[in-house]
Amino acid sequence: MLSFLSNVWDFVWMFFTIFVFFAWLMALFTIITDLFRDRELSGLAKAIWLLFLIFVPFLTALVYLIARGRGMAERASSQMQAQKAATDDYIRSVSGGAAGEIAQAKALLDAGTITAQEFDALKAKSLG
């Protein structure tokens, strides 16, 4: 019975260790990504942060998260907003907007695929 419990706790410890390792890797990659994303930080400061991350990783990561955590969140948020705006602009350019949708609906009406009532419904949906 004792060896079984020992094996179970070894198994639990292994999973905990793997979880902590992956959490550490995610934090490390997030910090490195943030370092290169920050345009206000000089190249020398980035190099110093990276050297400290290599030689004193846990302490440096903790200090970085405490000292620059708010800036990390702001930079990540601004990048996400920029990506969303770029995606929205791309979708608008490809779809043609409301005029494009109405033109497609008109083509379907002319082809006899939809009725006049369905065309009016699609047109109202596109406009409003």
Three-class DSSP category at 12: helix
Task: Please provide the size of the chain in residues.
Answer: 128
* pLDDT above 70: residue 4: no
- pLDDT: which is higher, 93 or 40: 40
Q: Taking residues 109-123, what's their average pLDDT?
A: 89
pLDDT of residue 102: 84
- Residue ranges covered by each domain of the chain: 2-95, 96-128
User: Could you read off the pLDDT of 98-107 as tens digits, one per residue?
Assistant: 777 888 888 8
* pLDDT above 90: residue 45: yes
Percent of all residues in the chain with a pLDDT value above 90, rounded to a whole number: 45
pTM: 0.61
For 111, counting Cβ atoms within 10 Å of its Cβ (0-12 exposed, 13-18 middle, 19+ buried), the class is: exposed
Percent of all residues in the chain with a pLDDT value above 70, rounded to a whole number: 95
User: Could you read off the pLDDT of 5-33 as tens digits, one per residue?
Assistant: 678 888 888 999 999 999 999 999 999 99
C-alpha 83/C-alpha 92 separation (Å) is: 14
With a CB cutoff of 8 Å and minimum separation 6, the contacts of 119 are 105, 106, 108, 109
* pLDDT above 70: residue 1: no
Q: What's the mean per-residue pLDDT of the chain? A: 88
Residue 56 — pLDDT band, cuts 50, 70, 90?
very high
Output the DSSP codes for 57-124.
Answer: HHHHHHHHHHHHHHHHHHHHHHHHHHHHHHHHHHHHHHH-HHHHHHHHHHHHHHHTSS-HHHHHHHHH
